[in-house]
Amino acid sequence: MKTVLFDLDGTLSNSKEGITKCVQFALDSFDIHEKNLDSLEVFIGPPLIDSFMKYYGFSEQQAKEATAKYRERYSVTGIYESSMYKGVKECLKILKNQGYFISLASSKPEHYCRIILDYFGISELFDDVVGATTDGKIHNKEQVLEEFFNRWKDAKKEDCCLIGDTVFDVEGANYVGIPCIGVSYGFGKSDDLINAGARFVIDDILELPTKLNIIFN
């Protein structure tokens, strides 16, 4: 069965407000007061612990504490500070009608992913939801994709494609050996996606069925 794996933040949803405000909240607890939310967009995509260490010089322990603080706000408020991109539900229905197996593959904790899909009213269009674990055992896109293939051992990599908006998605797909289609409307840059190895970059999610047809045929 042909399988489409979707990233969440920046691919299906515009989650900038929720993520950046929760990062801001976490930084405040360390007496770091970042007023420019745009500067916190770099936290959208990669694992939070990695980003706190990379961009603010936190130790691993501090990064874990910051991530816990982030989730304190995110679980109550931030998770709902997002909106689904135009055309997403229509695209998912088209793919479903065409017989694709559809799964989420996000480095966001899996239980949050399920809440968000329910909130958007699109859960029934997904055959599986694969996300990170809060204990850190699964936290990056490579590990999320590996978990998908652990669950679905009959899935053939030549019949799978990841859809994402950042180089982290492309690199994850490269790592497990599946193609990736990038989207330009998210938080990554088209040139970066192409340079990382994305098979295509689309400007509109409704272009996806046509591009998948090219990849799989």
The rounded distance, in Å, linking the Cα atoms of 84 and 31 is: 33
Cα–Cα distance, 170 to 194 (Å, whole number): 9
Structure tokens at 62: 């501090």
Rounded Cα distance, 107 and 122, in Å: 19
Following DSSP, what letter does each residue of 197-214 receive, concatenated? T-SEEESSGGGHHHHHHH
192 catalytic? Reply is no
Handedness of CA 135, 141, 147, 148 (dihedral sign): positive
Q: What angle do CA 110, 46, 77 make, to 5 degrees?
A: 55
Catalytic entry in 7, 9, 165, 169: 7
Residues in the chain, overall count: 217
- What is the spatial distance between Cα 32 and Cα 29, in angstroms, rounded to a whole number? 7
User: What are the residue numbers of the active site?
Assistant: 7
